[in-house]
Structure 1
Amino acid sequence: MDQQDDDAFISSLFYKTSNWLPNTPWLSVDEFNTKISQLYPALTQQLKEGYERLWDYLTMEEFRKMVEELENESHSIQKYPELALDATVRRDSNLSRQETDYLVKRKRFQKTAFARLIGRDPSEIDERDLPVIGIASSGGGYRAMIGLTGYLNAFKQTGVWDCSLYLSGISGSCWAMSLYYNPFIIRADTERLREHLKEKCQVHWANMSNFLHTLTLSPEHTKAMIRGIIQRGQRAHLVDVFGALMGSRLFNNPEMSTGLSSQQKWLENGQEPMPIYCVVRHMVENDQSDVYQWFEFTPYDMGCEELEAWIPTWAFGRRFQENKNMERLPEQSLDIMNGTFGSAFAASLVHFYQEIRSFLPKGALEKMDQVVKQYELSMSNIHPISPSSFPNPFGTEDLQLMDAGMDNNIPFYPLLRQGRDVDIILAVDLSADIQTAPHFKRAESYMKRRGIEGWPKDARWPSDEMLGSCTVFEGQATGDQTRPITLIYFPFILNEAYDSQFDPQTAEFCSTWNFVYKQDQVDKVIGLAEANVNQNIEKIRKVLLEAWQRKKKQRLLLTK
């Protein structure tokens, strides 16, 4: 079996739309192993040889020396300047000083770009009237990672990107963001990102031969791939292994071990929107209710708005006591963080059932649906694979974080944080279950719980018709609320004007569980995303123009 066949088989095990599962009787482990040996006689031998090679490498004296070097480097201030710094917990609801400084620079940068987009002279634009634009991009595995790349490229080409302040992401979108903002690989270039993904997505991240090749390429590659796990020590988790494997495939670069704070490079002059990476903690309050608590990571800080608690991003992973760090450790590596951002397999039993329901035998569905409905709350509180665990800088218990798609697969919430004051949200929905997912319902509940006004009440999928590739939902000013929130929604669905034969909601290669894309498939996904923006640029321009006019009018009225 060659590498392509190996990848195809691995991918088939994860396909949500696999055809062989519904009609195949459940097998015992021994029966399954026998069947695999019969169908893929070379695979068993390949796996055996692969793991033998891995074991031989891990037991080499050279490898042990590299582990010792990593442990020594973890105390090097020259390599990790953050080791010279102590961190304290900031307990307030304000934006960090670094973010407020960034906003000043970004708005100065935006002025000319916004004038160009709406067809006005820059002299007509007052920075105070610029609409605050945030992009919220959903999870969805490689489909989301590749799809967001297309949307970003189109936003750049049309000028929308230079008018945006924030980019929040979940799961697969976080992977695209971490690549785009990486100062050593993509360097904030969407065309370079496209070509990078066309190369990297051809091989499955779980491909053993590829992993071994990358691991043994050079001592620098070995150290980069294992640094995060070595640093995690006894806290190392299945999620961390996933992150290391994913990182070895997507980054394949000694610089993959850099942290999120290195992305400040693209913000120091306000030249790029600020990335916000989202995760959640599952809070089981009692037997009758549970809630997901949102945490955000930016190149500057991490924390939780509801807790009103924040620390520098480079200090995450340190133990804290009485709001001060008790130790100095290097920043968490990007592969460890990407594993946590995209840890959808740490889902609750209910989320697992929702993912596999479509390929269960039809005869079992009705009974299983009844069981899940009856025990939904209890099953929502059980995670067969536990989330990634870190020292909690804000409390005594460990902080268990997971893929934010467990709560809402579109990250609206960080954009609505007090002080960010977002006027317009470009919602990029790359989910698999677009028409049935409760994104809008949960967002509306969150707005009520947090006392946020101005959310568009009609933001939802209509029950009797389809939405197009771009829909505008207008928020309404109520009472003293003078800042309605406008939602520009981009569902990743069939676009007849682009390709009537390509529906990402049904195309098998677009499954959330597919981690191998051919180059033409990458182009197909990116092309659809670009078309969804390009075909609707006038609609976007109109929304931005009206928001600017409204803010300008309000400012002038207040200054009379």
Structure 2
Amino acid sequence: MVVLKPIRQSPTYLYLKAYCLCALVTLFKAAPVSSQLPHLQQRLQRLHARKLKTITLKNWRTVYLPPGDLSLFASAAPVTGVTNPDISISSIGKRWKRRLIDFAQVGELLRRDEKDAKVYPEIDRDATVRRLSSVHPKEKEFIRLRTLKISSQGDDSLRKFLGLGSDEIVDPRDVPLIALGGSGGGYRAMYGFAAFMAASKKLGLWDCLSWTAGVSGSCWTLAGHYTISRQDFSRLMRHYLSVAEELTHPLSLHALDIVARSSQGVYFLLGPLVRKARGGAVGLGIMDIYATLTSTYQLLSREPGAKLSRATFQFSRVWEHAGIDRGLEPMPLLTAARKAPKNAPGVKPHWDSSLSKGPPPSQALAQHTTEASDTVIRSRRGPTDADKKAVAGADSPFAKGFFQWFEISPLEVGSPEAQAYVPTWSYGRTFVSGRSVASRRLPEQSLSLMLGQCTSAPAGPLTGYISALLATMPRRTAMTRWLLLFNDCVLRPLTRRGFLWGNLIRAGHDPNPFYGFDGARSKEWEAETRHRLMDGGMSNNLPNHILARPDRKVDIIIAFDASSDIQSSHAERRLHNFAEDCHMGLEDVTGRFYDPTTKYMASHRGTDAMSTAAAAAEIEAKYIHRYVKVFKGYAKAAARSCTLFTVLFYPTASIQDSIHL
């Protein structure tokens, strides 16, 4: 094992491991054949028009032009024959020679970073755990500066967005604290949330926001906006259009080649893995390779001459680079969740109501009832009084099923439920009883690894996937019956015995920053030296748990939901699950802000016009709730008139249809 350790930590071995993973994904990826036809047709047209004239770029990537647009090839010398030089034996040999040189440079570049205090000033500092429930002091100052900028004393963004008269003055104390949250949903959520953010910028809403948060795929969007796009939405949209036109799976061999052939792409692909493997505290798994593969592919700019840079993967530097420290942009919050350790601070044993974790809930399964699952469904309708009494026990299944939310901001990484945070630049270090180990002052963990934890949906319990599938499938089909039988007879027994949630893929390990010694401080520190951060969608597919922290005092939460079950009632049910988890209530007050009947009747007169207006009002009243719903959040212990915050729930990407709210 001692002999094999250096091999397992070598860039060559890690690259081969990533290559094998990409080969499997390329072989089994689910992509419709029809999606390749336009690409194939354009390729044939190009080959016929220019007779295989090629352009080789410095970063080894290929430029695809629209059919017939050959202006760039006007001065190119004709190439005879039909052999593409990019796939010749000599070119392949040169390419792998260059690849081996890149492997050899990874260790040298890592040693450079570990001594470069100018780029990584944290290598000269130790870190401590912050054990307070309040937000970071710098975030409090950010809120003050942000409200000042939104008010009439700054850019006057709120007055312009509301369309108030020029004589109106908005005082900073009257500026509402607005947060925008994006759901999970992979690439669908990534593209959808980007479009939503761009639309909000165009309409002036973005300049009135104080926070923006994401779950799973929306975290990719936030990372791209605050790094490679440099807070320019037009640049972000161009980048995503370029990525989409490649028709490439982010874990495919083609995506791997795009990154590896870019300038220092191998270093940014393998460097974080090598450093983590050599740290000694944790091992590497499939999800660590998944993290660097997906992040480097998505954060590699497609602009000419662009390349990956160290600043792109330093999330803590976003605080200054994006002007958040001056209140110029909303503060980004990435989210993740973990299965809380037994007796961990902040764990409140109760029935976990989320739709996306554990066994499929009765709401998702009610339409798929079969004789084989009747008993199972009855057992999922919620805890009985006896169950609630047993919750206090150490072996309670309800306590074990509780997820703790984590937030990753440019300032710190931590859990509001555990009331513990560490500086973002120190996450990934080894901590003991609130202090980092001085002997391992590593540079900041790569943003790619953090994004891998925030988007680690493949590591979720298979029961969660079954729940999502059943929520969107037709009733009483052979497939739904088979899924129920598989879940009841195979997955649930494995889950009850703690066997990998029925899933062989697990989220990546990281040193637990809240680890401490037993004894007098056992109530303050945790006993596990490692922990796993996973996709927040395992708890809830919206980041409301993070945004609704009492110490943030958010007034309005705009929730953009691009979940796969968005057309069903389960998407809205997640809002109520969030409220139940936070011991709050939600009341639908959409009708107070928008009444189609009043709108149309006030603008039409006469018998014919009135009948037309009535028909139009009926249609709009039928569909308005599919665009936006407004909920008032209130504490269950207080009167409903005491509003804590307002939630605007957008189940589609349409912001313009309901902007009058």
Length-normalised TM-score, structure 1: 0.74
Q: Which residue of 1 aligns with 2:646?
A: 486
Residue 160 (structure 1) aligned with residue 205 (structure 2) = yes
* CA-CA distance at 1:251 after TM superposition: 1.7
Per the alignment, residue 130 of structure 1 pairs with 175
Q: In the alignment, is the contact (CA less than 8 A) between 2:113 and 2:443 conserved in 1?
A: no
In 1: Cα distance, 2:204 partner to 2:93 partner: 50
Select the residue among 481, 485, 489 that pairs with 1:366: 481
Cα deviation, residue 270, structure 1? 0.6
Q: How does 1:143-542 map to 2 (within 5 A)?
A: 143-182=188-227, 185-201=228-244, 202=246, 203-218=248-263, 220-233=264-277, 235-252=283-300, 253-255=307-309, 258-264=313-319, 265-266=321-322, 267-283=324-340, 286=395, 288-289=397-398, 290-326=401-437, 327-355=440-468, 362-363=477-478, 365-370=480-485, 372-373=487-488, 376=492, 379=495, 382=501, 383-395=503-515, 396-397=527-528, 398-436=530-568, 438-451=570-583, 453=584, 455-458=585-588, 467-475=625-633, 478-479=638-639, 482-492=642-652, 529=653, 532-539=654-661
Cα distance, 1:376–1:122 mapped onto 2, change above 3 Å: farther
Distance 2:33 2:544 in 1: 29
Task: Sort the Cα spacing of 1:149 and 1:159 in 2 relative to 1 into closer, same or farther, 3 A.
Answer: same
| 1:99 CA displacement | 0.5
* Cα offsets for 1:57-94 (capped at 9, x unmatched): 69835522332332342233233111122110010101
Greater shift, 309-318 or 120-129, is seen at: 120-129
Change (3 A) 1:399 1:476: closer
Paired amino acid for 2:422:
I
Give aligned pairs, total.
458
* 1:458 shift after superposition: 3.6
Larger radius of gyration: 2
Is this contact kept in 2: 1:457–1:475, CA < 8 A? yes
Q: CA–CA distance in 2 between the matches of 1:416 and 1:66?
A: 42
Q: Does 1:75 align with 2:115?
A: yes
CA contact (8 A) 1:429 1:490 kept: yes
Change in 2 beyond 3 A, CA 1:459/1:350: farther
Tell me the secondary structure at the aligned position of residue 276 of structure 1: strand
Residues 207/359 of structure 1: CA separation in 2 closer, same or farther (3 Å cut): farther
Runs of 4+ in 1 over 6 A off after TM superposition: 52-55, 358-361
Partners of 2:642 and 2:557 in 1: CA distance: 17
> 1:283-311 deviations in whole A, cap 9, x for unaligned?
37635221111000001111001111011
Distance verdict in 2 for CA 1:134–1:122, change over 3 Å: farther
Partners of 2:424 and 2:32 in 1: how far apart?
35
Does the aligned pair in 2 maintain the 1:423–1:483 contact within 8 Å? no
Does structure 2 conserve the Cα–Cα contact (< 8 Å) formed by 1:316 and 1:332? yes
Shift of 1:338: 1.5
The structure-2 alpha-carbon separation of the partners of 1:254 and 1:476, relative to structure 1 and needing over 3 Å to count, comes to closer
- Is this contact kept in 2: 1:211–1:248, CA < 8 A? no
Deviation of 1:204 (Å): 2.4
What residue in structure 1 maps to residue 30 of structure 2?
Answer: 14
Instruction: Report the 3-state secondary structure (helix = DSSP H, G, I; strand = E; otherwise coil) of the residue aligned with 2:546.
Output: helix
Q: Which structure 2 segments of 5+ residues have no match?
A: 1-21, 35-85, 301-306, 343-394, 516-526, 591-621
Between the aligned partners of 1:338 and 1:388, the Cα distance in structure 2 is 11
Q: Secondary structure at the match of 2:134?
A: coil
Which AA in structure 2 matches 1:468?
Answer: R
Contact 2:541 2:574 survives alignment (8 Å): no
- Residue 482 of structure 1 and its aligned partner are, at CA, apart by 3.6
Match of 2:162 in 1: 118
What is the DSSP-based 3-state SS (H/G/I as helix, E as strand, rest coil) of the residue aligned with 1:433?
coil
Aligned residue type for 1:538: H
Q: Is the 8 A contact 2:544 2:578 kept in 1?
A: no
Share of identical aligned residues, percent?
Answer: 27
1:269 aligned partner, one-letter code:
R
Distance 1:305 1:481, change over 3 A: farther
Q: What 5-or-longer segments of structure 1 have no aligned partner?
A: 1-5, 19-45, 493-528, 540-560
Tell me how large the CA RMSD over aligned residues is.
3.5
Structure 1: distance between partners of 2:473 and 2:626: 28
1:287 and 1:371 mapped to 2: Cα distance?
A: 25
Q: Can you list the C-alpha shifts for 1:14-46, whole angstroms capped at 9, x where unaligned?
A: 36999xxxxxxxxxxxxxxxxxxxxxxxxxxx9
CA distance in 2, matches of 1:488, 1:213: 40
Alpha-carbon contact 1:205-1:248 (below 8 Å) kept = no
Q: How much does 1:213 deviate?
A: 4.3
> Quick one: structure 1 residues 57 and 102, their matched pair in 2 at CA, closer, same or farther if it must change by over 3 Å?
farther
Q: Quick one: which amino acid aligns to residue 116 of structure 2?
A: S
Aligned counterparts of 2:273 and 2:136: Cα–Cα separation in 1: 30
Q: 1:212 to 1:370 in 2, by over 3 A?
A: closer
Shift of 1:180: 0.1
Is the partner of 2:340 in helix, strand or coil? strand
Letter in 1 for 2:450: M
CA contact 1:408–1:439 (8 Å) conserved in 2: no
Identify which range, 373-382 or 149-158, moves more after superposition.
373-382
> C-alpha offsets along residues 307-364 of structure 1, whole Å, 9 cap, x if unaligned?
1101111110000012110031111112111211111000102023335667899535
User: How far is the alpha carbon of 1:433 from its aligned partner?
Assistant: 0.9
Q: Is the 8 A contact 2:431 2:512 kept in 1?
A: yes
For the 8 Å contact 2:632–2:643, the answer to whether it is kept is no
Given that residues 243 and 335 in structure 1 are in contact (C-alpha distance below 8 angstroms), is that contact kept between their aligned partners in structure 2?
yes
CA shift for structure 1 position 12: 7.5
Answer whether contact 1:133 1:164 (CA < 8 A) is retained: yes
